[in-house]
A = this chain, B = another copy of it.
């Protein structure tokens, strides 16, 4: 928080535009000893030229050794310490489906579950992974819940998962999960506040659970619900206030739009669905903003599928589009990732991600290839992702001198 105040004090209008391109889950691992990573395997003449002209390094977007979730990783890239600004899972679920969250909202994840009608115990914590259609049906039924003085929003996520947002004054989130994490041994846990300030919220949540259980009782197999990850949305200091930058997000997935909105970016609604659409969107709006976050989703999706060829292809697709961003002549252009998603692991990993920054005031280093390995010897060194934003701002001359 303190550093954000320092930047705010030093902020000034940039001399040009900043473009930050984030390939989600870009970082990878070799498939066999001595082999290339996905990024090394991809043919990327434009990214390599960027590395050669620019300055490279490796970023730990949460902290060394920590595997970032998508929310914390992006917060880190936007300059917010994810260890300080802990966005709870309930909130991330709400953001992930594009729910327009407001400061003070209390969010939680819902699992529809199966309750044994004889014992009252949780028999299946996921209700047999009901299809999305069934989930939507249940969510529609839950619209009948009515709590005086509190708005309640229930939304489908996927299969057995949904989320709920409570909107009322003074809702705090020190509330235990109601998921007993066991099967056929206990009923759902009662809603318990673990701090006095959260007792009011726990009372409202308990009333929600009471009504919801009554509504669901005749359903099958999802005749109950479990709540997890209570999280209040405390307004973040806005990126647009920390820097003197008008910021826009170009992303096609709700989660990234949501995180961008949290930090005060305008989320452009004409980003389209394809990567080419996103670059076209950047071109259309280039005059309107100072800072652009352009998000490439599919590197991560294919990494999680373990689909090596498809991940390599998306990297090459992004490489081929890069000249369109460069042709706009931004003052600073950076390419990086939120985290690694190596195809051999099929999940997010802790490996740091490569970054390359190009701009008139960049001091070039010896790196001439954009890869995890080459960037390790870059002029940026290995640093926490939270340092990227001030470095980008500095290179756009958007930060004044610290002290005299």
Contact = CB atoms under 8 A, between A and B. Distances in A.
Contacts of A148: none
28 contacts: A3-B83, A30-B364, A33-B53, A34-B364, A37-B363, A58-B381, A62-B402, A64-B391, A65-B393, A66-B390, A66-B394, A67-B400, A67-B402, A68-B402, A68-B403, A69-B401, A69-B403, A70-B403, A71-B404, A72-B403, A93-B404, A350-B394, A350-B395, A350-B399, A351-B363, A363-B372, A365-B373, A372-B379
Interface in A63-92: 63-72, 82-83, 86-87, 89, 92
B89 A404 contact: yes
B363 A403 contact: no
Contacts of A404: 69-71, 89, 92-93
Given A30-B363, A366-B377, 14 more contacts: A29-B361, A65-B391, A66-B394, A66-B402, A67-B402, A68-B402, A69-B403, A69-B404, A93-B404, A349-B394, A363-B372, A376-B379, A377-B377, A382-B382
Contact of A83 (B2, B377, B399, B401): B2
A332 B34 CA distance: 18
Nearest to A37: B363
A221 interface: no
A97 interface: no
A402 B82 contact: yes
A321 interface: no
A394 B53 contact: no
Interface residues of A, number: 67
Interface in A370-396: 372-373, 376-383, 387, 389-395
A316 to B, nearest CB: 21
Given A64-B391, A394-B350, A87 B381 contact: no
B383 A64 contact: yes
Nearest to A91: B404
A390 B65 CA distance: 5
Nearest to A397: B345
A3 B6 CA distance: 22
A393 B63 CA distance: 13
A351 B399 CA distance: 13
B382 A86 contact: no
A373 B382 contact: no
Interface in A334-370: 345, 347-352, 361, 363-366
A366 B72 CA distance: 30
Interface of A: 2-3, 6, 10, 27, 29-30, 33-34, 37, 53, 57-58, 62-72, 82-83, 86-87, 89, 92-93, 345, 347-352, 361, 363-366, 372-373, 376-383, 387, 389-395, 399-404
Contacts of A72: 402-403
Contact of A401 (B67, B86, B361, B378): B67
Most buried by B among A2, A3, A68, A382: A382
A402 B53 contact: no
Contacts of A401: 67-69, 347-348
List the 9 shortest-distance A-B pairs measured between CB atoms, nearest first. Answer: A381-B382, A65-B390, A69-B403, A64-B387, A72-B403, A350-B394, A65-B391, A65-B394, A376-B379
Give the one of A53, A361, A379, A401 with max B CB within 10 A: A401
A33 B37 CA distance: 30
A11 to B, nearest CB: 12
A389 B363 CA distance: 26
A298 to B, nearest CB: 19
B390 A64 contact: yes
Contacts of A2: 83
Given A30-B364, A372-B363, A373-B365, A403 B86 contact: yes
